[in-house]
Amino acid sequence: MKTYIKNIIPAAALLVAVGFSSCTKDLDVTPIDPNLNTEIQPEALFNKCYANIAVAGNGGANGDCDVDGIDGGTSGYVRQLWNAQELTTDEAICGWGDEGISNFCYNTYDASHPMLRGFYYRLYTGISFCNQYLQEFGDYNTAMTAEIRFVRALNYFYLMDGWGNVPFVTSISSEKPVQYSRQEVYNFVESELLDIEPLLNAATAKKSTDAGYGRVDKAAAWLLLARLYLNAEVYTGTAQWQKAADYAKKVMDSSYKLNTTGVGKWSAYQMLFMGDNGETSAAYEAVFPILQDGVRTTSWGTSLFMIASTHDADMSDVNGTTEAWGGNRTRPQLIQKFFPGNDAPEAAPSDVVKAAGDDRAIFDTRGRELENTDPSNFKNGYAVAKYNNYTTNGAATSSAQFPDADFFLMRSAEAYLTYAEALARLNGGATTAEAASAINTLRLRANADTKANYSLDEICDEWCREFYFEGRRRMDLVRFGKFGGSSDYVWQWKGGAINGRNFDATKNLFAIPTTDLTANPNLTQNPGY
């Protein structure tokens, strides 16, 4: 049984309530009464800081939402991270009519975008929970305090990556926060991670049956530092390739290992995205798993979203839940990473994998078209069957509707590609033998062909092959100069044109929500909005 986050204490008196019409108007949270059940309060609020990533509020999928005035789906942490990082890129497109979806797909988002506003407030809600824990219980337990500082730093990382210059606050206060520059937020995240690293628990890979599964340890700090340094040139103007390589290597040398052995018909790679991924050897790759349970932590915006939004009713054999919403599917440029000749067969995922010669090509092409000629039609674009709620041993999951599959927000495979890219950039863009070996380790796991050398463009493609539909593609395209601005890389419907067109580099940052600009005179909008 998974013992962390899934056992969040449900008593409302022990969970923080927050009214959040804007992050700068109501950034203070209602403090917990110190006379109420003091023995358990630190653990409850500690869990809440983590749970902000996993669920929308205190009452499950159909309960309340911690972000006031926005429903749980519109503000779901994983769901809106995914939308912002995937629908804006060469990997995914969606034809739903929800307000904001087409703006994501066509790169026309602005300061009134409802889903970016929801994600922005979700991140600040999490920061408020963390600030309250640190203010109320910061001296309660050294490791727990370090973990909450990590979660807060992670939230600030996503704000810095997405919005750049953002409101900054580290305490519960009614004062309107000042706006930090991207450099200042970068400095804070770096300083926090370096400071807490020795205070976190040892880097120890775990399954759900092990104590501490779902909680971050030193490896999470190393991996987030590696990610921070890999993108440092974007964030600060100064590259930090050696530091990125050094911290990635720490993760590679830790007990967190790639899952390399499949079970039955399930490949080692596929096992990372299944209903029992916390119970099998796949768990040892999860540096930071977001825990899900089909009964106790239900949500429309985490693992169910990953499964249901990518499946329709014709894919019941590769789903594992009763939910099939038929929305998010591939753009042709993602498929071309596996089938450069546009020759993917019309077949079930298992046969597509065989044709690609790569276990990661988990696509359902049955009755579907490669091209997105009609974005409103789910059959225009191949379906992604990467996520499912089956178990490797055929055992039943806890719910037919909501998945048990944990969402691996950070996994050790990232360290391998970070290491390879950083070494290549230090070597003038050409891979060293050591860098190629790191890439080949991932390709061998996927039973794909290997090479002795990889160009930077090929490394960019490898990021896509390994991590497509996992909520990070925009960040990688920005780093490679392939997102906003003048670029020789376009994808279908980029910039709103069916054949793709460049859009302004100012779109490499999202707009500060209008509601926050109105509420806080300390804020200045990002250029271009």
What is the residue-wise DSSP string for 314-326? GGGGGT-SS----
> Given this model, what pLDDT does residue 18 score?
32
Residue labelled with tokens 């399954």: 207
Q: How far apart are CA 355 and CA 334, in angstroms?
A: 16
Strand partners, 411: 286
Q: How much of the chain is in helix, strand and coil states, percent to nearest 5? A: 45, 5, 50
Beta bridge partners of 383: 364
Q: What angle do CA 122, 132, 406 make, to 5 degrees?
A: 45
Count CA within 13 A, CB hemisphere, residue 353: 17
Closest C-alpha to 502, from 515, 484, 479: 484
* Residue 166 neighbours by CB under 8 Å, 6+ apart: 156, 159, 160, 179, 180, 185, 512
Asked if 435 contacts 450 with a C-beta cutoff of 8 angstroms, the reply is no
Residues of the chain with pLDDT under 70: 1-40
Question: CB under 8 Å to 340, separation ≥6 — which residues?
Answer: none
Instruction: Please give the single-letter amino acid code of residue 233.
Output: E
Q: Identify the H or E element spanning 78.
A: helix 77-82
Amino acid in the structure at residue 58: N
Q: What is the amino acid identity at position 342?
A: N
Residue type at 393? N
Two structure tokens written together for 142:
């050294």
Strand, coil or helix: 254: coil
CA distance 94 to 464: 18
**What SS3 state is found at 99?**
coil
- Say how many residues make up the chain: 529
Q: Which strand (E) or helix (H) includes residue 516?
A: helix 514-519
380 pairs with which residues across the strands? Answer: 369
Q: Report which secondary-structure segment, H or E, holds 92.
A: strand 92-94
pLDDT at 70: 87
Residue among 341, 339, 334 nearest 353 (CA):
339
Q: Is 367 left (phi over 0), alpha (psi -120 to 50) or beta?
A: left
Residue 59 is predicted with a pLDDT of: 84
- How high is the pLDDT of residue 69? 86
Residues 6+ apart with CB under 8 A from 480: 456, 457, 460
CA distances (Å), 115 to each of 12, 112, 259, 421, in order?
Answer: 27, 9, 34, 32
**How close are the terminal C-alpha atoms of the chain, in Å?**
48
Domain-wise residue ranges, the chain: 1-141+493-529, 263-410
Question: For 83-95, how does the pLDDT look when each residue is reduced to its tens digit (9 = 90+)?
Answer: 999 999 999 999 9
pLDDT of residue 73: 87
Residue pLDDT, tens place only, 46-79: 999 999 999 999 888 988 899 988 888 899 999 9
pTM, two decimals, is 0.93
- DSSP H helical segments within 376-455, as ranges? 413-426, 433-445
Q: If one looks up domain 1-141+493-529 in CATH, what number appears?
A: 1.25.40.390
Angle at which helix 456-467 crosses helix 433-445, to 10 degrees, equals 30
pLDDT in tens, 95-150: 999 999 999 999 999 999 999 999 999 999 999 999 999 999 999 999 999 999 99
Residue for token pair 């910061």:
138
